[in-house]
Amino acid sequence: MFHYSLKITFQRLSILLLFYLGLRCAFFLFNQDVFEAAPPAQILLAFLHGLRFDAAALLTINLPFIALSVFPNISSLRNRKYQQFLRILYVLLNTVFFFVNLIDIEYFKFIGRRTSNELLIITQDIADQASHLAVDYWYFIFLTLLLGFILNRIYPVYREPRRPEQANWDLQRVLAIFFLGIFCTLGIRGGTQYKPLRISHAFVQEPAVLGNLALNSTFTFIRSLNNAPLEKANYFANQAAVARHLGFSPQKYATQKLPPQPENVVIIILESFASEYIGYENNGRGYTPFFDSLAAQGTFFRHNYANGKRSILALPSILAGLPSLMDDPFISSVYESNQLFGLGSILNRAGYTTSFFHGAANGTMGFNAFTKSIGITHYYGLNEYPKELKERDYDGLWGIVDEPYLQYVVRQLTKQKPPFAATVFTLSSHDPYFVPAEHRGKFPKGNLPIHETIGYTDYALRQFFKSAARQPWYQNTLFVLTGDHTHKSKVKDYNNLVGMHKVPLLFYHPGKKFPAYNTVKISQHADILPTLVHYLQVPTNKLLPFGHSLLDSATTGQALLYLEGVATLLHQDYITQLNPNEELKLYQYQLHGLKRAPQAPDAKRRQYGDDLKAYLQYFKNGLIENNLYYWIPSKLPAQ
């Protein structure tokens, strides 16, 4: 039997769930226009889904109260003054966060997402305008005090049971540890799933904006405390001036000039496939004979760069055209709930079936939540892989090895209604570099542990194309192959800022030959989405200015990099770097490495420096204000 102190603590926490339900109802009622596209069933599901986030938030902020409610000995708990102290702590802790949720009802109208730790960086602004804010939004203060008063009135008072329990300190301590260690741990992490509950896990419904309804502001604020928010950039007057400086128009592809091409698209992201390992890029010295044969037949961009150095940075760049120009990955940043359009949201409107395949555990690096947030309809992870094949094909740590998984992808694509757009992310060429027993010794070991698994993944790729070639959709499919990032280097030419971002980019179509595009101009991951939009002739005004279509002869090519606080912009002639201290440096561009260019023309230095600053301002301010797709900050429309 649970001790009375545990029972009444549970009652007190349960009451808070009702308050958060009321706050969610108020949030919905005052922002109905944002959710008007959602059917009632989905809205109800968002309310139910929100219980997980409410429980996680309430248990987190009330941990001190919970501990003080169950750990003291029985005589302390029966003390009236001690219980009065607990009551004050309970009311104060929760009333503060009532206020955070109430102000978000209005603040959401301006930023389009639940509030985060940005409240901590605008405290001076709030203090300076305290009197003005108090007058304009007096009702939030009144409602907060009212909710605190009601909470205090209905607070369950500690009353002795009719038959007083015998003080059993050992039993009480065991139960307290169980309560805190099991119940609270599971509640705070949101359950027993692979990864703890995150902000992005709210965005699993259609339309994705319902994620803001499932969330509560307490949860988003607390979860963002470990993430450093961006500071606004003020190089130019406003976002509109920045966009004009970059020569960017979101209407460029809003009306396509040619008829649409309803072809299938398969993007294959190859884990750690650095250019250093590709024979086609290194005079035949490499570990990828099959990839080399495809590169010789397709359109291969020789000066291609990953926008980041990690897998978690690759997906926003490739699938949404958003490079990571900050220290935190977008997927796990305070801005992960921002409005972002991508491959799914753009191609779904054109009648495409969209899907994402990754053989690792569902939830790995937040890929499932992120792909859902950009409109990709179907996610295939470890959970979806056939149970009868898992034990045979599992690598023991990371996920399903590449050869059987890519065969599984072929089978799934054959079942999908065309046209489809699928993204496949391999995993075998990742630490611990597992090669199935039947293939060990078949591939060159090289001088790094990864080299053998690069050979294995290349073999798996060969088997994938062999099987795909027998499917009816193959001849009408554009394949896009790239590496997600680079890995360790043993070649001097790649052991520098430029080389450590260099990954292959190949467009291959078995049914047609591309015109003679400029394949020696600089390209980047962020160029992939606009290139697909251009190629497929899909109308959209939801592209970002960071990438450009590689099929557009008017663009000269460039790439954006960000590493350890240094922002870099690659052009065909110069490399421009902006250090955290705002120092601007220019180097001569060369395929492998940096060459200092102290005598760069002033006009070129100014032009490229302004370009880089414009990109940084567009990125930072666009994320902070959640208006990446809207030049002038305003109330955001529903998705």
- Tens digits of residue pLDDT in 274-306: 999 999 999 999 999 999 999 999 999 999 999
Average pLDDT over residues 55-73: 87
pLDDT value at residue 111 = 63
What's the pLDDT at 559?
Answer: 97
Report the C-alpha dihedral over residues 102, 107, 112, 115, rounded to 10 degrees.
Answer: -60
What confidence score (pLDDT) does residue 197 get? 82
User: Is the CB of residue 13 less than 8 Å from the CB of residue 59?
Assistant: yes
Radius of gyration of the chain (CA): 27
pLDDT tens across 506-525, in order?
999 999 988 888 999 999 99
Chain center to CA of 473: 31
Task: Give CA separation, 40 vs 20, 25, 192, in Å.
Answer: 20, 14, 29
Is the pLDDT at 638 greater than 80? The verdict is: no
Whether residue 153 is predicted with pLDDT greater than 90 in this model: the reply is yes
Q: Is the pLDDT of residue 597 over 60?
A: no
Task: Give the tokens for residue 390.
Answer: 């898992």
Residue 631 and residue 617: Cα distance in Å, rounded? 12
Taking the C-alpha atoms of residue 214 and residue 150, their distance in angstroms, rounded to an integer, is 24
Model confidence at 632, in pLDDT bands (50, 70, 90)?
very low
Residue % of the chain over a pLDDT of 90: 56
Inform me whether the pLDDT recorded for 326 exceeds 60: yes
Kindly report which listed range (10-14, 32-36, 171-175, 615-619) carries the lowest average pLDDT score: 171-175
Beta-strand pair 584-589/574-578: antiparallel
Rounded Cα–Cα distance for residues 54 and 107 (Å): 20
The pLDDT, as a whole number, for residue 159 is: 79
Residue 84 CB neighbours (<10 A): 12
What is the average per-residue pLDDT within 114-138?
61
Place of tokens 């053998």: 452
Q: Any idea what the Cα angle at residue 313 is, between residues 190 and 579, rounded to 5°? A: 120
SS3 at position 423: strand
pLDDT at 176: 65
Query: Average pLDDT of 625-634?
Result: 69
* CB count in 10 Å sphere of residue 244: 14
Residue 171 pLDDT > 70 = no
Say what the pLDDT of residue 342 is: 96
Query: What pLDDT, on the 0 to 100 scale, is given for residue 596?
Result: 57
Grouping H, G, I as helix, E, B as strand and the rest as coil, residue 270 is strand
Confidence band of 115 (pLDDT split at 50, 70, 90): confident
Helix (H, G, I), strand (E, B) or coil at 355: strand
Mean pLDDT, residues 113-125 taken together: 62
E strand or H helix that includes residue 560:
strand 559-563
Contacting residues for 527 by C-beta, under 8 A, at least 6 apart = 321, 547, 548, 549, 550
Return the pLDDT at 634: 38
State pTM to two decimals: 0.78
Is 166's pLDDT higher than 90?
A: no
Question: What integer pLDDT is reported at residue 297 of this predicted model?
Answer: 95
Q: What is the pLDDT of residue 185?
A: 82
CB 323 within 8 A of CB 309: no
Average confidence (pLDDT) over 494-499: 82
pLDDT digits (tens, 9 = 90+) for 359-409: 998 888 889 989 999 999 999 999 999 999 999 999 988 899 999 999 999
pLDDT level of residue 160 (50, 70, 90 thresholds): low
| Helix H or strand E segment including 379 | strand 378-380
**545, 556, 637, 489: which is closest to 112 by C-alpha?**
637
Residue 415: exposed, middle, or buried by beta-carbon count in 10 A (0-12, 13-18, 19+)? exposed
Least confident of 128-142, 348-362, 436-450, 494-508: 128-142
Alpha helices in 180-334 (DSSP H): 185-189, 211-214, 217-223, 239-245, 289-297, 311-320
What are 421-478's pLDDT values in tens digits?
Answer: 999 999 999 888 999 999 999 999 998 999 999 999 999 999 999 999 999 999 999 9
pLDDT at 592: 59
Confidence grade of residue 130 (pLDDT, cut at 50, 70, 90): low
Segment 603-616, tens digit of pLDDT: 888 999 999 999 99
pLDDT above 70: residue 336: yes
Whether the predicted pLDDT of 108 surpasses 90: no
Give the pLDDT band (50/70/90) at residue 104.
confident
pLDDT at residue 478 in the model: 98
Q: What pLDDT is attached to residue 557?
A: 94
Q: Which pLDDT score, from 0 to 100, does residue 637 have?
A: 39
Q: Is the pLDDT at 595 greater than 60, yes or no?
A: no
Q: The tokens 């009532």 sit on which residue?
A: 98
Whether the predicted pLDDT of 418 surpasses 80: yes
pLDDT over 50 at 635, yes or no = no
Predicted confidence band of residue 549 (pLDDT cuts 50, 70, 90):
very high
What is the pLDDT at residue 144?
92
Q: What is the mean pLDDT of the chain?
A: 87
Average pLDDT over residues 307-321: 94
pLDDT of residue 123 exceeding 60: no
Shortest CA distance to 195 belongs to which of 326, 381, 50? 381
- From residue 596, give the alpha-carbon distance in Å to each of 400, 502, 599: 45, 20, 9
pLDDT, mean of residues 41-55: 93
DSSP code of 181? I
Greatest alpha-carbon pair distance for the chain in Å reads 90
Predicted confidence (pLDDT) at residue 568 exceeds the cutoff of 80 = yes
What is the pLDDT averaged over residues 579-607? 75
